[in-house]
Structure 1
């Protein structure tokens, strides 16, 4: 008996050890990632610079620089050369100045600092900085091939700075020495500085009041003065150095000569019909034209001179169109712009101001765009901008990022999108050719999809460093706004969510009005009608009450329009009184209507299905909060703030509509429900039949009739198919029974299931995350296809999906069953859910590829559904059951519960990431949490991604920190500050696989970043080079006779002798040099990474010490057991030693 008991005990211990081994995860073999594998860095910034302020051009290197109000500088060259740098204090950039062909840029900021940037580096850095403390700087001017920088101040003084040492010279031009002694008022700020092209010892100084002074640098005196009757805005020289032109505040242009200083030689108000006959008269000052902010006087070989200016239009302020005016002789061309003009600069070929410029193009910096105009083309056509400056044509509302997009999808989008390109551009190439383009370090094709306020969706190729537009899709053209809509303040067509299945090319887009459009990619044009499903508001009546005077036959044959899923051909407002008396009128409002007319659809993404969700009231939108699509199952699910909707995209019908409280069933959901008891008590089965000739059953009085929407039929067509739904739930009220409690009451009754530390108490529970997956578990309810639902209360609920046999997929109903299992104890919204196999590898749902969709209409019986990621054990089971690749979905558990499928169960794990915590559980034992980690700050965005073929959790906190955690131990891998603490920016953060991501760093810019140390190291070469060694152009040749008779000969001056030590020391405390104690961004990032790595190393050392202590304890226990075993063996040996052989 004892021997049998020992055998039973040994067998029981063996089973228990087997179970424990299945639950144990070998972290050393599974988790191979270390903090050394992670580092955060910006890769590239694309889009238009937000809030631009100034523009600069290098004619030798062919580069353009744009400054912004937030302290950023964008340097652009040839297509692909795009570098963004930022000042450390983020002060507004007032002016930029290239040092021609030297690889340096000088920036003047609003904090009275000037900085010199070295752009020869792949990541430009500041090498010198100087701060003025007594005066506020307004502009700067650097002559060509000069080492001395002129600085104008708000007080009217002019200072000189050496750009070699960035020190202030003692040479100062004070305003009281420049103006006339008879002038009583202060001249104002310095608005213009320039040297005379023919004599570099003469400096033209323009003051705001209209006074211009030609200063002699050698004599330190005024050579001549010019006085305008209006305020001065800008001035420019002619290349001969004998005359200059001024732009005034009244929209007039004045031309002055060097010899005649009393009055201008010419006065023109080009955009006014006012005939000015007298110069500086009251008539000229009374012109109702706007100011001229900037003017430029340039030449063209073989043509007349060009005068370009902005502004000057004779319109009122409310009607003032932004424009650029080009004057060529007597002809005037006014080019109207779409956005306000910030500044412009002519793109000349040579840096020598004495040479006649062959100006061929002009770059115009607008408030929201950068335009280059071809001055030599007829009609002044624009160059096609190779940079992605039009991300913000309509404000970006959401974005999606695919870091592993199939290359054939990008090629298909490019082929279709190339037909959408705008026409009317000049045939010439982009005039900027500076820098060297480099390829992206990532070999995977990358795709970014942006949704916009006007309902448009744009596809961008992010595979290389430059961002390229591929395809544009407009969703607003499929809808029209209802006339009774009262929310005129909302942009109803604004895109809220975008979901793309890259394998099948299905695209789902949701809008602000609660509408969802499902698109299908088609290479050819089509003209089919679009099916439309109308989903009524949650909480509205779900049943039609049949009047007693009508027979069941009439009831079954009559065309009914149930409230949950209605036909668009039926209009409740047009029902007669008899229909209204027999049916309960639903409370629903649809702010937008789908255009159901058959129209020709262009190739590309074509509408496959439209879902319209009713608003709870006339002023309260029904917001879409989550979407999930699976092409292999042919199912689409989306969640709102009130519940869940599942749609069959193959049969074009609504499967089920459930409020969030109905997902729990009727019972206590505070802890894990018993699988058997929960299924028996709370099971809800929704079965559908699409047959047109299906008869009503005997239980039709307790069933809800759903009409499948089909907009392919017109108003007179009455042959639309019907889907009958049988709801077997006891929690739903039928006709004649007490109504179910309101959502608020159900929320109040089920408040026990909420986590005590959840910050989301106080509002109704909604759906915030959805995921389709096929699971294998020892819990019977989790075997098969599941739709995992995450709620705003931190609850995770699985919903079982049973598909019919593949031969009957388009005819048989799809069954949806609530599993009766609830996972609680989360903190905050559910942000992401991931699934792992027994080796902790990422599990992906099955997909159907695009090539297989072409065969879908043929109804082939042996249609293959390839899986993106299949368990090894599942493959073995399928291999034993069938030698074909066809998946059999009919073997799922029957609704009666009598038939059970035998599963070769392989361990799977679920990773739940919420706002304030993350958990890892086994699907075979959901009551036990394997790993748990709580955060100090809430997550704003988080995703379960793969990094070096290993799953991790990557996310961003509300304080702007970016973090990554290993799976399954949830060990911190990186946690550093990176994002701006701006909620609007953080909500757009999207993480991709292999450690890359994107986010909208401003309303007009899209920034790509990486958390991979290897990727960051390779990205340095991806930026290319801004500076290329170029030979300086030869100076213009001087005519022998002109030089002999000293005609137009250029006088030169030794500036080093003039501005050097001989002029004395500068005044104290006027300017001070900023010591370069601040490390560069790269060094600072390395310092932060080193600090974090040291902290993590200490943590790892502590963990190692604990493990060593455990090993030491185990070793001691093993030694003790070994010693006791040796003593027992010694005693047995002593007992048996003196016994004879016959006594044994």
Structure 2
């Protein structure tokens, strides 16, 4: 805000004193020139609440409560979409392989995002409250259900970038649906061999389920009647109740539907979760209608309960994927959130389910509960939806902004049914730039000069380290997200690195990224230890970083006063120097690829507050919290001098090289004189707001009286403008 006001004031003064000619009115600085926007964003926002996945492009979308959408692909590709309205999203879904993302906000605005241009393509404000949404596979058509029980069809015209509300709709009148009964689910029936492609399933809040023929505009099947014959109940598989036949009559009271999904590849079975914790499997096949009528209602529904408790949690989430080893369309795994006893641990439950012919008997072969790292937000299945997939990868989002991957694999086909188990492995998604685990303490962006040798040397490090920086899951499986287009080809021999981003952490480690393009690429990780040395070196939290663009050296200071010097370029020199106030120990280190620690200075027991390379990297100036200053020789790795010229804790330090000054009495002034001297100066800012100027060659004060702020303030930053 301060910078923006400064530019606005400067622009206003410039226009007042130098009015631009009409033909060149746009050449002056305007307030719009400093209207800063987010161009790059890494990490999961803390307000993340909803997920979407494109299985073709392998992209993950994360919607937030404040109108942002985070996109995550492969090779550290991340993007951020920001809605003009800061509203939460209640629906988020990709148009698969089309580069478009559909979002619906809580104020019922349907938005279409163009992923290529990373902008909002169009939006449509819906007049009623949207309560159900689904995109028709392999099309730009989508179903929209509302609070009045009406299903509408909307088309996205990509060529003209607009949403069209088509005249076709499915009214609730005539379905024996109570007036104003909201639609809670709309699922196009899956297409497979022998099944129709023009059927859509509609679920209403009261429990009524309808299979609708879009072409004939009529009901095909009605489910959810109050009185049903249940042939099988399936209890808690962990208690050994695996679906024993029980012929009994059950009167199902009208209860609210809270979740639903297809539980077969061909859309012949529907899994429905209810507010009381029940899960019902409904038969929706229309292939042999006469047989269904003869068999009665006992073949149409099967009940499942995760717990025998009287009071259970509502079933909030249901997902199903096929068992790749089975030849039956309805065998697979069912993911459930909810349905357990109220007060039980919050988990995601995965059941391995097998059916006999038709819906005669259901068997739950195994159950596994996935522990969550925080309050549940959302989950998507990113693999395993095809029969060829041996495992399913689940992205699980918990609050605040924590994203994990669970790999769920079924047992081998050779095992008996009694031995079949689900194996689960979980891993946190490794962030591009870790900020919490480990905790980041300091970071800097360094720009390299347009020098071929310097940028090429760092690019060579990148090529060596690239293969090890790819994200892997715990079992060595590749990271499931591979989508997105990287803006550069880092494998190109002519590739150059012009910017590096360096971060220091509380555990003493340092991470370095190539920041030439918005997509950051990891160069290396400097661990919180110096391998190969016998010296007893204690490494603390990193407090300061400095990078020399001339020598490709990195200086790392910590809160205990240790200063480490790393050579980022490859070097045959393998000597390590450990320097204290009284001695300089030299050890031989084993030659290793990549960065190597050349020296460690432990001369002052105080937090390092400032680091600056001088003389093109030949010297390093270090300022400490205690007010002392050390100048270190980077060629011999020795201490040139220590200065006690500043009595207050140092906040910042800048170095001015080769400035021409001359002495007037006991003070120095810049100017032109026969007695001119060229000096390197250190400008020191202390926390009490004093600015000292010191001779960088000997540590002497240039002026005995420091400049001070007019008011007693705590100084936190300083910048030297000019040379």
TM range, smaller chain: 0.5 to 0.7
3-state SS of paired residue (2:460): helix
Q: 2:186 aligns with which of 193, 203, 208?
A: 193
CA 1:249 to 1:285, structure 2 compared with 1: closer, same or farther past 3 Å?
Answer: farther
- Change in 2 beyond 3 A, CA 1:819/1:387: closer
Query: What is the CA distance between 1:107 and its match in structure 2?
Result: 0.8
**1:163-183 superposed Cα distances (whole Å, 9 cap, x missing partner):** 2553385846559966579xx
Partner of residue 143, structure 1: 136
Q: Deviation string for 1:23-59 (max 9, x for gaps)?
A: xxxxxxxxxx975997877654343455332233344
1:255 matched to 2:267? The reply is no
Q: Which residue of structure 2 aligns with residue 608 of structure 1? A: 599
Q: CA deviation at 1:83?
A: 3.8
Contact 2:283–2:299 (Cα < 8 Å) also in 1: no
SS in 2 for 1:214: strand
Partner of 1:327: 352
Alignment partner, residue 990 of structure 1: none
Paired position in structure 2 for 1:819: 702
Equivalence for 2:268: 242
Could you say what secondary structure the match of 1:108 adopts?
strand
- 1:309 equivalent in alignment to 2:193: no
Give the equivalent residue in structure 2 for 1:497. Answer: 544
SS of 2:144's equivalent?
A: strand
Q: Secondary structure at the match of 1:149?
A: strand
* 1:434-833 pair list within 5 angstroms: 434=483, 436-439=485-488, 444-475=497-528, 495-511=542-558, 513=559, 515-521=561-567, 530-531=578-579, 604-606=595-597, 608-609=599-600, 611=602, 625-630=609-614, 632-640=617-625, 643-648=627-632, 655-656=641-642, 658=644, 660=646, 662=647, 766-771=650-655, 773-779=657-663, 781=668, 783-791=678-686, 795-802=690-697, 815-820=698-703, 824=707, 831-833=718-720
| Cα distance in 1 for residues equivalent to 2:430 and 2:148 | 41
Aligned residue for 2:438?
394
1:61–1:472 Cα change, 3 Å: closer
Q: Does 1:295 align with 2:319?
A: yes
Distance 2:46 2:471 in 1: 24
1:700 is aligned to none
Q: Residue by residue, what CA displacement relative to the aligned partner does 1:186-240 show, whole Å, maximum 9, x if unpaired?
A: 97x654321334566654444567x242254634798222677886442111222
CA deviation map 1:316-374 (0-9, x unaligned): 96964x55736265244556566665433334699xxxx97868643414343363748
Partner secondary structure for residue 256 of structure 1: strand
Following the alignment from structure 1 to structure 2, what is the Cα–Cα distance between the partners of residues 794 and 248? 65
SS of the equivalent of 1:369 reads strand
Does the 8 Å CA contact 1:250/1:290 hold for their aligned counterparts? Answer: yes
2:379 is matched with 344
In the alignment, what sits opposite 1:129?
124
- For 1:208 and 1:476, the matched residues in 2 are separated by 60
Offset from partner CA, 1:601-645 (integer Å, 9 cap, x none): 98745383355876xxxxxxx8754332447444431243x6343
The corresponding residue for 1:371 is 405
> Higher strand proportion, which one?
2
Name the CA distance, whole Å, in 2 between partners of 1:163 and 1:359. Answer: 35
For residues 892-916 of structure 1, what are the alpha-carbon distances to aligned partners after superposition, in whole Å with 9 as ceiling and x for unaligned?
xxxxxxxxxxxxxxxxxxxxxxxxx
C-alpha distance 632-64 of structure 1, shift in aligned 2 (>3 A):
closer
Q: 1:334 to 1:224 in 2, by over 3 A?
A: closer
Higher relative contact order (CA 8 A, sep 6+): 1
- Residue 471 to residue 369, structure 1, CA distance change in 2 (3 Å): farther
CA deviation after TM superposition for structure 1 residue 88, in Å: 0.8
Using the size of structure 1 for normalisation, the TM-score is: 0.43
Q: Alpha-carbon deviation of 1:142? A: 2.2
**C-alpha distance in structure 1 between counterparts of 2:429 and 2:410, whole Å:** 18
In structure 1, which of residues 401, 411, 434 is the aligned counterpart of residue 460 of structure 2? 411
The secondary structure found in structure 2 opposite 1:832 is coil
- How far the C-alpha of 1:787 sits from its partner, in A, is 2.0
Following the alignment from structure 1 to structure 2, what is the Cα–Cα distance between the partners of residues 169 and 285? 47
Q: 1: CA distance between counterparts of 2:327 and 2:41?
A: 40
How far off its partner does 1:825 sit?
7.7
**In 2, Cα distance between the equivalents of 1:49 and 1:796?**
39
**2:540 and 2:560 in contact (8 A); partners too:** no
SS at match of 2:93: strand
Tell me, yes or no, if the aligned pair for 1:341 and 1:364 is still in contact at 8 Å.
Answer: no
Once the two structures are TM-superposed, the CA of residue 92 in structure 1 deviates from its matched residue by 1.8
Question: 2: distance between equivalents of 1:454 and 1:317?
Answer: 38
CA offset digits 1:925-956 (Å, max 9, x no partner): xxxxxxxxxxxxxxxxxxxxxxxxxxxxxxxx
1:412 alignment partner, SS class: helix
Closer, same or farther in 2 for the Cα pair 1:284/1:48, shift >3 Å?
A: same
1:123 Cα shift?
Answer: 3.6
CA distance 1:249–1:162, shift in 2 (3 Å): closer
**3-state secondary structure, aligned to 2:432:** coil
Question: Which structure: greater helix fraction?
Answer: 1
C-alpha distance in 1 between matches for 2:406 and 2:266: 27
Choose the corresponding residue for 2:154, options 162, 165, 187: 162
Q: Distance in 2 between matches of 1:300 and 1:526?
A: 54
Post-superposition CA distance 1:862-903 (Å, at most 9, x none): xxxxxxxxxxxxxxxxxxxxxxxxxxxxxxxxxxxxxxxxxx
Contact 2:260 2:317 in 1 (8 A): no
- Root-mean-square deviation (CA), in Å? 5.2
Aligned in 2, Cα 1:117/1:835: closer, same or farther, shift over 3 Å?
Answer: closer
Give the C-alpha shift of residue 453 in structure 1.
Answer: 4.7
Q: Secondary structure at the match of 1:833?
A: coil
Aligned residue among 62, 68, 72 for 2:64 = 68
Which TM-score applies when normalising by structure 2? 0.64
Residue 498 of structure 2: SS of its match in structure 1? Answer: coil
When residues 267 and 601 of structure 1 are mapped into structure 2, their CA distance, relative to the original with a 3 A threshold, is farther
Q: Distance in 1 between matches of 2:201 and 2:87?
A: 29
Whether the 8 Å CA contact 1:204–1:215 is kept in 2: the answer is yes
| 1:95 aligned residue | 91
Unpaired runs of 5+ in structure 2? 1-25, 157-162, 227-251, 285-291, 355-364, 413-422, 449-453, 532-538, 669-676
Could you say if the C-alpha distance between residues 420 and 356 of structure 1 is closer, same or farther in structure 2, counting changes exceeding 3 Å? closer
Structure 1 portions without partners, runs of 5+ = 1-32, 275-282, 479-491, 534-565, 568-596, 615-621, 663-742, 744-764, 803-814, 837-1144
- Check whether the contact 1:105–1:118 (CA below 8 A) recurs between aligned residues: yes
Cα shift at 1:244: 1.1
